[in-house]
Amino acid sequence: MDNGCCCCSLVMVVVAVLCSFRVGFSVTNDVHVKNFISWDDIKVDEHQIKLSDSRVNRNRTRVIVVSKNGEADSVTVQGAIDMVPENNTRRVKIFILPGTYREKVTVSKSKPYLSFVGNAGQMSNTVISWGDKASDKDSNGTSLGTYRSASVTILSDYFCATDITFENTVIQTPGEPGMQAVALRISGDKAMFYKVKVVGTQDTLLDETGSHYFYQSHIQGSVDFIFGKSRSLYQDCLIESTAVRSGAIAAHRRDSPTDDTGFSFVNCKINGTGRIYLGRAWGNYSRAIYSNCYFDNIINPAGWTDWNDPSRQKTTLFGEYQCRGGGANTTGRVPWSKKLNFEEAKPFLDKKFIDGAQWLRL
C-alpha cells in the first residue's frame, strides 16, 4: 500500500471517529434490532445517570440527558434527537430533566426506537410546549393547517414516552376558524405512551396512523381532542373535557369497512366541563368503542353525532359496553349507536385489539 492510500485510510478513520462523537455514540457494526417495546424501554436509572458523569459513560447505556441548565448533553429536546444516528437500530432513551421546554419537536421516520423519559411520577414537571395553530402562517406565508400545528410530531416506529407533558398553549375560541392546535401528533407505528399528559383544546391529540397504546395517561381538550385514523387502545386513562359549552372527545376517521382501525377506550374516566359527545363520525366508517368506562354527567344524552352526514349512520360503529356514572344512561342515545354485549365488545377489550402480542412485552 502506498503513502497516498495510507493517508486516505487515516482520514477516513478520523472522520468516522469524529462522526461518532457528533451523534453521541461510538461507531459499531453491531445490529441489534428489538422489534418490541418493554418496560425497560421507558426506565432510566436516575441514580446512575448523573450530570457529573462523562458523556462517554452515558453513551454506553444509550441515554442522552436533556437539561435546561446546560449541564447535560443538550439544552433542548430537539438537540438530543439530532444526536441520534439516522436509521438507528437500537433503543435510545432521551432523559428529559424537569422544566418547560418551549420548542417545536419532530422525531423523523428515520429515527426509530426512541424513548422520551421524564422523572418518575412527575409528568407535570417535564413539559414540551409550543403554541402554533392551524391558521398561523409559515415562513412562506402558507397556513400551517392542523397537522403542522403540532408541538411534538412523532413519525418513527417503536416510540415510547413516560412522565412527560405534551402541550399546545393555544386556547380555542368557540366558533373562531383556524383554532385547531395539536399538542402531540403520532404517525409512527407501534408506539406506547405510559403516564403522559397531552394538553390542548381543539384537536389536542392527532392519533394519526399506526397501532398505539395509551396507558394510565391524561388527555385534555374540548373539541375532537382525540382524532385520527389509527388503531389505538386507551386503557385506564383520564379523558378530561375543558369545553365551555359543547364539545366532542373522539373523531375517528375510517374510510373503508376493511380498515382495521378504530379507537377503543377501556376502563377510562371521562370528566370535566361542558356538554360533550363521545364521538363524531369524521369518516364514513368511523369506529369508537367505550368499555367499562366511567362517565361524569357531562355527556350529551345523544352520545354521538354523524358530522351532519346522515348516510354515516348506517356505516359507523359507535358503541358502549357496561359503562357507568351520571353520563352513562343510554336511553337518550342516537338510535344508530350500539349498546354492546360481551361478545360484541370482546375484540376491543384488551391489547389484542392492537395486536399487542406482536410488539408489546409488558
Assign 19 to helix, strand or coil: helix
Q: Cα(156)–Cα(189) distance, rounded to whole angstroms?
A: 7
Give the C-alpha distances (Å, rounded to integers) separating 71 from 61, 134, 166, 327.
18, 36, 23, 50
Cβ neighbors of 140 (< 8 A, separation 6 or more) are: none
Query: Can you name the residues that pair with 160 across neighbouring β-strands?
Result: 115, 192
Give the C-alpha distances (Å, rounded to integers) separating 112 from 84, 85, 90, 237.
10, 10, 8, 25
- 224 catalytic per annotation: yes
- Burial-class residue 358 by CB neighbours within 10 Å (0-12, 13-18, 19+): exposed
C-alpha cell at 213: 397504546
Give the DSSP H/E element, type plus range, for residue 274. Answer: strand 269-281
Q: Cα(225)–Cα(202) distance, rounded to whole angstroms?
A: 6
**Residue type for position 329:** N
**Per-residue buried b or exposed e for 47-69, using 16+ beta carbons within 10 Å of the residue's own CB:** eebeeeeeeeebbeebbbbbbbe
- In the block, cell 379507537 appears at 263
Catalytic residue among 224, 236, 260, 296: 224
Cβ neighbors of 12 (< 8 A, separation 6 or more) are: none
Which are the catalytic amino acids?
Answer: 224
